[in-house]
Amino acid sequence: MTGRTAFETQYGFARNAVLLSNWRESPFNRWSFQNVGELVPSTPFAASGGAEAPAQALGGLLDEKVALAAEPETVAAFLKRSDTDALTVLKGGRLVGDWFAPHMQFGARHIIFSISKSFTAILAGILEGEGVFDPDAPVASYIPEAEGSAYGDASCRHVLDMTVSLDFEEAYLDPESAFARYRRATLWNPGGGSESLKAFILTLQRLGEPHGQTYRYRSPNSDLLGMLLERASGHRIGDLLREKLWQPLGATSEGSIAVDMEGTARTAGGISVTPRDLARVGEMMRQGGMANGRRIVPDAWVRDTVSTGGSFEAWQRGTMAFLFPKGRYRNKWYQTGADSGAFCGIGIHGQWLYVNPKAEVVIAKMSSQPEPVDDRLDVELVAFFEALSRMV
């Protein structure tokens, strides 16, 4: 009788059970979210090459109680209940500790889904500071072929702040929706390869409402942002990530980003990095755009992004105001509106990069939640991050 392989022992299923048709479903996502490149075409972006400090346990912090649901539970219990794969916590720029689920090892990369949007916006801020990219310019000034689409009369600012009046819904679980066609164009679903990501995006049409009035979470905006940055700079996204962000940041591990049939980067959700390097991005933002004594992105851009910019009214008209009732959205980062000044990047299936300036805390959480979106759990997660910030 043939015994179970080491893979099956660790994950509870065979590698050949993970397919393009199910890689975002539980339990397969516990492996696939760390190995996206085996399923979807991807391109790497190199790190600075420095050595990473060894793993450091969170220790007694895991036994602290948090009151998030009906009964208080330990931090460790909540991490398991929220399908956490990895957690890294920084305080004042120093490592507090790491936590890993049994199926994720220290140093492994993990997809961050829509925190990729926040990374891409950082590139936009860098290029703006260099005078290469104008956030107030019309989209068509960089991509003339956008004329006739929803973006034909939109500005790059509308794209950055998710206020494009776009006739498109993020219907994650509807196989017959335009979103499913979008996923095929990204090569994330079976049946792709006949329509590129750019070709799909430029077929999208607008709603009757003017641009700029309502926050609408629409991922194609962020893929388009990557195309705008490539047109403005003349460089590919992978190269921009490496040269403008990853190596100056002092990231120690190579990252990767998914690409479509034409090599167009999936800037809306295709980046994979380690938890430590994700936390470094949050710390850079907490430090006003500085890392290792080097300016990465202009301070004015960071302040505008995390505290002063964005439309409260547009946010209130959107569908996510329940999560941050006093919040705003700017340059693909969420301002919570909390007294702590907390801000964050968020990705589906439980990816979070939470920064609490008042407490000087950065929390990177990578997860394999079964559902793409879980509103109830998201509310608990915000409360968890606030509680954890007080504990450390």
User: Could you say which of 32, 114, 116, 219 is catalytic?
Assistant: 114
Do the beta carbons of residue 164 and residue 317 sit within 8 Å? no
Contact 268, 220 (CB under 8 A): yes
State residue 166 phi and psi, 5-degree precision.
-105, 130
Question: In angstroms, rounded to a whole number, what is the distance separating the alpha carbons of residues 70 and 290?
Answer: 41
Tell me the C-alpha distance between 330 and 156, whole Å: 12
- Catalytic: 82? no
Residue pair 391/300 in contact by the 8 Å Cβ criterion: no
Pairing of strands 65-66, 73-74: antiparallel
Task: Decide if 357 contacts 372 (C-beta within 8 A).
Answer: no
Distances (CA, A) of 209 to 161, 169, 225: 16, 15, 21
Q: Which residues are annotated as catalytic?
A: 114
